[in-house]
Structure 1
């Protein structure tokens, strides 16, 4: 049984500091985040309440620092011209989703993300395609980075090597074990690690590219939390690319947290309302579970 002293209480509608469990002042926290180069907003893709939270945070950050861009894991780099066309008002919602091949490329219900897309369009906030060509992930996982010719790497550079801590984290994530525990890293294969890092590197490379400007925007990243937690994933790859001013904000529906598991998870964690049922298209849950099993065991 866990000692009560190791638990952080987390009231609704508040930001918790994972380092010590104190409740942060929202104005102070988000003002500090607006001064970063990058603020990454983690998500569970199928939870509507999380996307509402992302929209609210993006709105506040834009008020504090109007020059922003919003990057999305959901879009591969090849559809960037479509995102630009959408922002300029040249497409209907239906035409936009069709041209980015939403159903084939992402598959989660578009209603989860449309408020974010319309926020960007309404305020002419650039949308950034952060992902890579999906077959590249499969190819790197199977054959390794060096086996891919340079002109077929979708603009990416090689990933910084995975740390032991990241391997343990991914093994814990895959088998639902404590993220900070001594999980056997051999539970996940090198193939799985390489694939995961290809996504991480894609997000980092495309964010870094947006920052390589005379007047760089604050880049807000809409990315799955498994790519962000504990400084692993995309933040680790961003630091390898020389981007060091990074904020990671995460949502939760829990009213208490184990203190040991919270240390280093991110800069702050927001307590949501109790989420509504997840919106998962028919067959998606089985497809995701099957893909994870295949990646972990091949």
Structure 2
């Protein structure tokens, strides 16, 4: 594994023809073109202004990434006031609660409780929601509910067939679990797991991508002329293999741009989509030694254990 300290030393020592300032704190970021050249937020926003969908990857709880998301959404709204917000951090059942909050019918405490907001909502996502509220823009609760995703991970895609008609609306109807580079990458990440267990876990991963993509596609269809900025974990966004892949299947004509966080200057020119890089400091390791992996961003704070997945109610609820 490349030594991160050496990597950052090389970044700090490099010189370019344009001003370059490597992030020094967890609140700072530097935008880079796909080929790794420095670029300003204004330049990026101008370049992607014609794209209907901007997918912004994140490391959950990274302060610089969340600051960037807020800065970007503010700038996008200035360029195009019809830019709506879509979020992995709220699932479809929370849509009515989000709508009530945006219409000032309920307060933030009710939004957090009834909308099942993530634990880091006030520090990391409040700013985005408030910007949308002031601009009178829609916020899409794009994700699938955590209990359904968990059970897909336990039972497999067939679990969806057991859901009530009402609950089927909360998750994408079709999950593409076919072999492709995205699946290979996921399987590498889950090394050590085999057989049906890891296949079901991949189906759960795909259920997030497919549901978020379907939510965005439906919103664009129902709101002609609207643009969307969507926030999600980096793995869902990078290389366009996750959400973008699923969205293109549903809406081939939609122009999509990606922005993904990195800790080293790279080259995303080979991505099937325009993919800018967001250079930030690496997150601290979450564990050391053999007690666990060192801080990967592929677990979701909104997925907890649930029992009884083999018994799904077929009654209308």
TM range, smaller chain: 0.7 to 0.9
Matched residue, 1:179: none
Matched residue, 2:185: 169
* Aligned residue runs from structure 1 range 95-110, under 5 A: 95-102=110-117, 106-110=118-122
Distance, in Å, in 2 between the alignment partners of 1:250 and 1:118 is 23
* Aligned residue runs from structure 1 range 40-59, under 5 A: 40-59=55-74
Distance, in Å, in 2 between the alignment partners of 1:172 and 1:262 is 23
Larger radius of gyration: 2
Instruction: Please tell me whether residue 64 in structure 1 is matched to residue 79 in structure 2.
Output: yes
TM-fit CA distance, 1:215: 2.3
Matched residue, 1:249: 259
Q: 1:213 aligns with which of 201, 218, 222?
A: 222
Go from structure 1 to structure 2 and tell me whether the alpha carbon gap of 1:290 and 1:54 turns closer, same or farther (over 3 Å shift). Answer: closer
Matched residue, 1:224: 233
Go from structure 1 to structure 2 and tell me whether the alpha carbon gap of 1:267 and 1:199 turns closer, same or farther (over 3 Å shift). Answer: same
Matched residue, 1:142: 154
Once the two structures are superposed, residues 109-129 of structure 1 have per-residue CA deviations (whole angstroms, 9 ceiling, x without a partner) of 532211112111122121110
Go from structure 1 to structure 2 and tell me whether the alpha carbon gap of 1:41 and 1:185 turns closer, same or farther (over 3 Å shift). Answer: farther
Give ranges in structure 2 of 5+ residues lacking alignment: 15-19, 23-28, 287-294, 306-317
Give ranges in structure 1 of 5+ residues lacking alignment: 176-182, 280-284
More helix by share: 1
Distance, in Å, in 1 between the alignment partners of 2:196 and 2:37 is 35
Matched residue, 1:180: none
Go from structure 1 to structure 2 and tell me whether the alpha carbon gap of 1:277 and 1:119 turns closer, same or farther (over 3 Å shift). Answer: farther
TM-fit CA distance, 1:210: 0.5
TM-fit CA distance, 1:218: 0.6
Once the two structures are superposed, residues 165-200 of structure 1 have per-residue CA deviations (whole angstroms, 9 ceiling, x without a partner) of 11222234446xxxxxxx999898211110100011
Go from structure 1 to structure 2 and tell me whether the alpha carbon gap of 1:94 and 1:165 turns closer, same or farther (over 3 Å shift). Answer: same
Go from structure 1 to structure 2 and tell me whether the alpha carbon gap of 1:47 and 1:187 turns closer, same or farther (over 3 Å shift). Answer: farther
Tell me the number of residue pairs that the alignment of Structure 1 and Structure 2 aligns: 268
Q: 1:30 aligns with which of 40, 45, 55?
A: 45
Once the two structures are superposed, residues 211-246 of structure 1 have per-residue CA deviations (whole angstroms, 9 ceiling, x without a partner) of 013523111101111111111111111011124411
